Amino acid sequence: MTKLTFPPDAENNNNSTTKEVDNREEFSSLLKKIEHLKIPNNDDFQEHENTLQLLLNYASIHFESPKYSQLMQSMLLILVNYSNKTVLVPCLIKTDYPSVLLTWLNLISNRELSRDADRLVGVIYNISRHENGIQVLNSLNTTNKLKEFQKHHQNSDINILCMMTMALLSTPEQIKNDRRRMNNILDQLLEIIVNASKQSFDYLYRVWHISEPLIVSVRLICYDRTLDYILQHA
């Protein structure tokens, strides 16, 4: 005999809808909170870490949910700005964001380009600018994961972000042994530096401040032939 399935009670449906709305409102409230949290003067980042953890609890469940797509896009944009303050990067590390960000990057790697992609890579890049971030990202095999991601995404700004991140994660020995890729990175960095230097008001070129490619270039100069290459092509 075929098992009969009875429709759920209307009251249960209403309760489920109410809970969903409450979850989105709580998520939105946490986003506003993390966006406006100030950097503490006493090095007590507990409130930052607690808020980031609560955010991650929601995001890990709802990352691929269409109902949460706008909230997720807002979260990633907020995280780009948050991680741009290097002093806050350890808060992201303590709450396991690097690992989760790479998991999300893998989830969207085969999709058509979305706003999620540049924001995800942007946060990973910002984390790589911190010494502890370099250690954590290298332990997560980030360079190979970014290379795999690049196979499916040819957007120029995202590729520059990926290459700058990989350069920051590279050891002197890796730089020495991968001259072709590093020279390609240098070509693009030099272009950004030259064009940004002409913008005397803010030293910005596209989305880049001149200091960002300069920092990456300094890291690459640890190998003598890098400086020779810059002098020849400047």
Residue 120: pLDDT band with limits 50, 70, 90: very high
Model confidence at 201, pLDDT cuts 50, 70, 90, reads: confident
Nearest to 122 by CA among 162, 168, 169: 162
What pLDDT, in 10s, does the model give residues 173-193?
Answer: 787 777 777 778 888 888 888
- On the question of pLDDT at 98 being above 80, the answer is yes
Structure tokens that stand for 113 in this block: 């380009």
Grade residue 56 by pLDDT with cuts at 50, 70 and 90: very high
pLDDT(10) > 90:
no
Q: What angle do CA 170, 173, 176 make, to 5 degrees?
A: 95
Strands (E), the chain: 204-205, 208-209
The answer, as to whether pTM is greater than 0.75, is yes
As a whole number of angstroms, the distance between CA 204 and CA 219 comes to: 21
Strand runs (DSSP E) across 173-224, as ranges? Answer: 204-205, 208-209
Taking every pair of C-alpha atoms in the chain, what is the biggest distance, in angstroms? 83
Q: Is 186 helix (H, G, I), strand (E, B) or coil?
A: helix
Q: Which of 92-106, 157-171, 190-204 has the lowest mean pLDDT?
A: 190-204
Place of tokens 């910005």: 204
Helix, strand, coil share (%) of the chain residues, nearest 5: 75, 0, 25
The mean pLDDT of 7-14, rounded to a whole number, is: 52
Query: Residue 121: in which H helix or E strand, if any?
Result: helix 115-128
Spatial separation of the C-alpha atoms in residues 28 and 75, rounded to whole Å = 9
pLDDT of res. 22: 67
Beta bridge partners of 35: none
pLDDT at 65 over 90: no
Structure tokens, 136: 């954590």
For residue 28, what is the DSSP state? Answer: H
Give pLDDT tens digits for 221-231: 765 565 565 55
